[in-house]
Structure 1
Amino acid sequence: MKKILLMTISFLTTDLFGQTPESLGFDNNPVLSKQESVFLNSLSKDQHKIFDFTNKKIAFVTGNTGNELLTKTDFFRICVKPYTDKGSQPQVSFISLTKEEQEKSGGYDALVLAWVKLFTAKQKRNIIEKLETEKK
């Protein structure tokens, strides 16, 4: 009985510890890992927005006007970890892409914005063009 209880607790806490910032951004594959999806899903729930990041291809954007693309590793290292280490929530939002924008961008499902003060439709088009250029 003790073994079953211990195994159950172990399995239940694995997901909790899997969401720590240390387990995020280990590669630059734009398709999110399970831990990254769970982490971003928890942030999107805090924003009262419905979007499931599971198995999504995500582009990470920063800069005051959202003009800079980040690798996934840099996003978690620069924009997430310093804040979660202090017990704060990072300033992150997201914009899902339309089917047309997904095709043009090379299959990206959404943009995750970190510390972006102003993000216009023009900036969105510019980022999608940058993603399109990168896929070639």
Structure 2
Amino acid sequence: MKNYLQLLLLMASMGMYAQYIGKCGLDNDPALTDEEAAFLNEYFNKSDRKGFDFTGKKVLILGGSAGSRLCGKEDYFKSIKDRIEVTTLPIASDPYPLTEEEKRLSGGYDAVLTFWTKVPMTRDKIKRVVRRVAEGIWEVPGVA
């Protein structure tokens, strides 16, 4: 019975954030629009976000099974839109807020979002991502 209640609540919440998805991922600028931030704040529950608020933030998005490929917002939100249209279930995605030091080193990014990754993200891996972005080894989609 408990599982049915959780499923019912999950499905009911899908409609709440689905209203924003049409205005999400229209560009690859790492700075989130108000609609994208509102969507992500609804999409991830507060404990998944660790209290993080996406409003006014810049994000790095990692995809691929090992989380080793930088992706743009267009790909990320398209993946969510496609999944919602087919199953109404969320994609495998997790937010990782950056520390103040990581934010400074990365050039002002506030968080890392992963999607469809099989290998868990660790603090060491986040530090490697930040270092690669800081050193220009990885080019962030949407940044000229």
* TM-score of the aligned structures, taking structure 2 as reference length: 0.73
In structure 1, what is the equivalent of residue 45 of structure 2? 45
Alpha-carbon offset, residue 129 of structure 1: 2.1
User: Quick one: distance in 2 between partners of 1:27 and 1:130?
Assistant: 23
Give the CA RMSD over aligned residues: 2.3
Report how many aligned residue pairs link the two structures. 120
By how many angstroms is 1:126 displaced? 2.2
Equivalence for 1:129 = 131
1:32-77 per-position Cα deviation (integer Å, ceiling 9, x unaligned):
1111111111122165432110010111111222111101112112
Letter in 2 for 1:123: K
Structure 1 distance, partners of 2:89, 2:82, is 9
Q: Which residue of 1 aligns with 2:116?
A: 115
Larger radius of gyration: 1
Write out the 4+ residue segments of structure 1 that deviate beyond 2 Å after TM superposition: 15-18, 46-49, 120-123
Contact kept? 1:30, 1:59, Cα under 8 Å: yes
**Following the alignment from structure 1 to structure 2, what is the Cα–Cα distance between the partners of residues 102 and 108?**
5
Q: 1:90 to 1:106 in 2, by over 3 A?
A: same
How far apart, CA to CA, are the structure 2 residues paired with 1:61 and 1:83?
A: 18
Correspondences of 1:66-81 after superposition (within 5 Å): 66-77=67-78, 79-81=79-81
Q: 1:16 to 1:74 in 2, by over 3 A?
A: closer
Residues 1:91 and 1:16: Cα distance change in structure 2 (over 3 Å): closer
Structure 1: gaps spanning 5 or more residues: 1-14
Separation in 1, partners of 2:18, 2:96: 27
Alignment of 1:1-136 (within 5 A): 18-19=19-20, 21-45=21-45, 47-48=47-48, 49-77=50-78, 79-86=79-86, 87-118=88-119, 119-132=121-134, 133=136, 134=139
Contact 1:18 1:35 in 2 (8 A): no
TM-score (norm 1): 0.77
Distance in structure 2 (CA, Å) of the matches to 1:75 and 1:60: 7
Match for residue 4 of structure 2? none
